[in-house]
Amino acid sequence: MEQVMASIPDFEIAETGISKDNSAEVEQFKIRVDEIFQKVDELEQKVNEVEQFNLNSSKKQQSSSKGSSMGKERDKGRQVPSIKKQQQDASRREAAAAKRMQELMRQFGTIVRQITQHKWAWPFMQPVDVKGLGLHDYYEIIEKPMDFSTIKNQMEAKDGTGYKNVRDICADVRLVFNNAMKYNDEGSDVHLMAKTLLEKFEEKWQLLLPKVTEEERRRDEEEAEAQLDKQLVREAAHAKVVRDLCNELYEVDTHLEHLRETVVQKCRKMSTEEKRNLGTAIARLSMEDLNKALEIIAQSNPAFQAMAEEVEIDIDAQSESTLWRLKFFVKDALELQSRSAMSTGGNNNNYNNKRKKEICNAIAKTAKKKSKKTSS
């Protein structure tokens, strides 16, 4: 145990494998690695955004899969409009739709005038004088009072608070008569007047309704076209993101490969003593870190079975780059392990794991074989 402990300080002051005279070069390597990690984080965020966009697009395609094949063929040949053109088209559509709606409201205004000019329209022209007529229960029965003067004011409003749609006016006209029929008994004059005028209004409304329906259909189609244009722009933008992402990933991979080759070239050959200390240090790793160390070995040796039941590790057979990667990893792992042990009072029973003992024994067994061959 004392022999193992004595070798720890020497190992934990692990050299980078590059001579101390090249400390500036080492620092440069660290900076480049940090830059690559930062770039990887940015790329991961972009990848998440692309994946989310593809997921949402997939859901939309599934929900709209009932669309006609003709519509799909039309969408395939559709050109992707620019954002500026989208804005211009939207402005033109809104202006044209507003003009058409104004014409419909003008025609609806003619209907309203015809109704209000009827001899029985006078009770409905002004708000109900609830207090003057002593209608104490009026607001308990009528939730939303309405009259033709209020409707007229809304139709003529210029401050943006007026009606935006013919159907909204139609609903309020119906409300005028329905309120009167609801509050007044069926046999009363006001009830009869309201019912008669409502029937006349519905007759005239049916004549205008086809134009209103056609306008609504047209608006729905234009809105669908606008949404499709927006979707195409989003897809084009994300397609560009994917292309840029592929290029950036290739660039990062190229930098990493170049950095890896440079480090391997700069690394000096590890001494026999260092290899022995490395094997001893690997034996001190926790089970989790030990598995990671085996993965490092497997990365440069595809034939190595890191997860096999029996693992035999030959430190001398590993490449210089693998040895140095192991040394850097083990150094950091032991430092972290040491801090963790100190924070928990030094009690750590993770070294009793059966698999860990087998792997550690395998390292010692391989080293012993090498020693016998050398002595013979």
Same domain? For 125 and 176 the reply is: yes
pLDDT at 353: 52
Q: Comparing 318 with 273, which gets the higher pLDDT?
A: 273
73: in domain: no
The residue out of 187, 215, 236 marking a domain boundary is: 236
CA atoms of 244 and 241, how far apart (whole Å): 5
How confident is the model over 89-104, as pLDDT tens digits?
A: 777 888 888 889 889 9
pLDDT at 9: 39
Same domain? For 214 and 329 the reply is: no
CA atoms of 4 and 334, how far apart (whole Å): 14
Same domain? For 98 and 182 the reply is: yes
Residue whose token pair is 């240090």: 281
Buried b (16+ CB within 10 A) or exposed e, 67-105: eeeeeeeeeeeeeebeeeebeeeeeebeeeeeeebeebb
How confident is the model over 139-155, as pLDDT tens digits?
A: 999 999 999 999 999 99
Question: Which amino acid would we find at residue 12?
Answer: E
Same domain? For 324 and 201 the reply is: no
Structural domain that includes position 321: 270-308+317-335
Residues 175 and 138 sit within 8 Å (Cβ to Cβ): no
188: in domain: yes
Once rounded to an integer, what is the mean pLDDT over residues 165-191?
95
Same domain? For 99 and 223 the reply is: yes
Q: Comparing 196 with 278, which gets the higher pLDDT?
A: 196
244: in domain: no
Which of 64-78, 307-321, 346-360: highest mean pLDDT? 307-321
Residues 170 and 108 sit within 8 Å (Cβ to Cβ): yes
Start-to-end CA distance of the chain, whole Å, equals: 28
CA atoms of 86 and 95, how far apart (whole Å): 14
How confident is the model over 348-360, as pLDDT tens digits?
A: 455 445 555 555 5
Once rounded to an integer, what is the mean pLDDT over residues 199-223?
93
State both tokens at 108: 């609806």
- 101: three-class secondary structure by DSSP: helix
Please give the tally of structural domains in the chain: 2
**Percent residues over pLDDT 70 in the chain:** 70
321: in domain: yes
pLDDT at 62: 59
pLDDT at 45: 75
Same domain? For 227 and 322 the reply is: no
153: in domain: yes
Is residue 290 within a helix (H) or strand (E), and if so which, with residue range? helix 287-300
Same domain? For 120 and 166 the reply is: yes
The three-point CA angle 54-59-61 to 5° equals: 90
181: in domain: yes
How far does CA 44 lie from the centroid of its chain? 12
CATH classification of the domain holding 129: 1.20.920.10
